[in-house]
Structure 1
Amino acid sequence: MRIFPETLKLYALTDPDAHPELSLAQQVEQAIAGGATCIQLREKNQDREIFLNAARELAQVCHRHHVPLIINDDLDIALEVHADGVHLGQEDLDLKTARQKAGDLIIGISAHSVEEAVQAWKDGADYLGSGALFATSSKFDVTTLPIETFKAICKSVPIPVVGIGGIDLNTLPKLEKTGMAGPAIIHGIFGQPDITKACQKLIAKLDGMDLQAK
């Protein structure tokens, strides 16, 4: 196993527009200080050179703190900056091809059904991201995934699963006993006035929850 469930306890996905007064590296430093256990660089519709420079910067930050950096969608950039892994959607690079190219890199896959989850696991995924579990402003026209389906996905594979989509302090308790490794959060971390405090509150909430499926 290339990634352990505890590494995905609080999976922070970057939002470059959330705090214009801070650099992306400063935002990530604050998230790690608050307890974020994994960082994903998420640069939707961004110029590739900007994406690459951000990846290089965050790779230095994350490696210094021994927190894995996952690059969203772009395996070439992940390899170029020596990131720890890449996260691919169902429409991105074929997983088997990605595994051949990625070597020992962590590969996360988005899965929206038990069938997709099992196939991704069989094809070599190290962890899964499933959602959207709640309404989210980060994606438009997204159908939410029923919690029971999410629980079934977590139960169907032996690799860790993170939940994503609209998760914050208010919605997080609804994911108790689902079997997930942890939540993947954008706005609930980087969209808050104090990034470090937001992570600390989320970690405290997670510490009081039983995530094990029943």
Structure 2
Amino acid sequence: MTFDKDAVLLYAVTDRTWTRNKTLYEQVELALKGGITCLQLREKSLSEEAFLEEAMQIRTLCKEYDVLFFINDNVEIAITCQADGVHVGQEDMDALQVRQKVGKDMLVGVSVHSVEEALNAVRKGADYLGVGAMFASSTKKDASVLTRELLSDICSAVDIPVVAIGGIGKSNIGELAGTGVDGVALVSAIFSVHDIENECRLLRHLSEKMIEQYRS
């Protein structure tokens, strides 16, 4: 499957920590209405059965909005629900094993933290890279913060889309301009806010502005 760099412009990663009076499904739909370009479903505590049921529902929703749908880490769920792709970290299944399991028609994203990891992921069949954490993050408190220079080096070293993640929000998206990154992956900046739809409109505008500054 081909993967356009524009697909990672505003990449939403779910976290049910902030569902409050809404279901995760309802939050995702608001984010889709607001203009996210990609969605990753991340579930660390649901049973396999509940995860699969949710994945099937949200996959159908993403399809309605023509937005790519990824599963975090769980390759079997991704295959069963026919997700567009799966995203894995350095501690998860090896990217080459993932590629062998999902075949050539499913997208594979890999989290990387160095040029070496980035090049290795590309060799093993990654379609895009997630790089971070770029800023201190409330979602992953133990994540090491990477430098802007390292992000630039990773972007220069590979020819596949690169999305920055970790502590990114409307106050600091602009700081990534000029690095060569193709978009931003956001968790709390989307799902912790009261008005998800309008917040996503603003975040998309800011991400587009950040990319335009680099490409121009």
Same fold (TM over 0.5): yes
Gaps of 5+ in 1: none
Shift of 1:154: 0.9
Structure 1: distance between partners of 2:110 and 2:208: 26
User: Where do 1:75-154 residues align within 5 Å?
Assistant: 75-103=75-103, 104-154=105-155
- TM (norm. structure 2) is 0.95
CA distance in 1, matches of 2:41, 2:152: 26
RMSD of Structure 2 on Structure 1 (CA): 1.4
Q: How many angstroms apart in 1 are the aligned matches of 2:91 and 2:19?
A: 30
Pair 1:212 & 2:210 matched:
no
- Residue deviations 1:178-209 (CA, integer Å, cap 9, x gap): 11110000011111111101100111212322
Residue 186 (1) aligns with residue 187 (2): yes
1:213 positional shift = 7.0
Q: Percent of counterpart pairs with the same letter?
A: 43
TM-score (norm 1): 0.96
Farther off after superposition, 88-97 or 4-13: 88-97
Work out the CA distance in 2 between the residues paired with 1:117 and 1:58: 29
For residues 214 and 58 of structure 2, what CA distance do their matches in structure 1 show?
32
Question: For 1:52-74, what per-residue CA distance to the aligned partner results, in whole angstroms no more than 9, with x for missing partners?
Answer: 22211111101111111100001
Cα distance in 2 between the residues matched to 1:189 and 1:14: 9
Distance 1:7 1:208 in 2: 15
Q: CA deviation at 1:211?
A: 5.3
Aligned partners of 1:211, 1:24: CA distance in 2, in Å? 34
Supply the distance in 1 between the matched residues of 2:174 and 2:36 (Cα, whole angstroms). Answer: 18
- When structure 1 is superposed on structure 2, of 113-122 and 202-211 the one drifting more is 202-211
Aligned-residue offset at 1:212: 3.0
SS in 1 for 2:3: coil
1:123-163 residue CA offsets vs partner (Å, 9 max, x unmatched): 11000001000000111222101111011111110000000
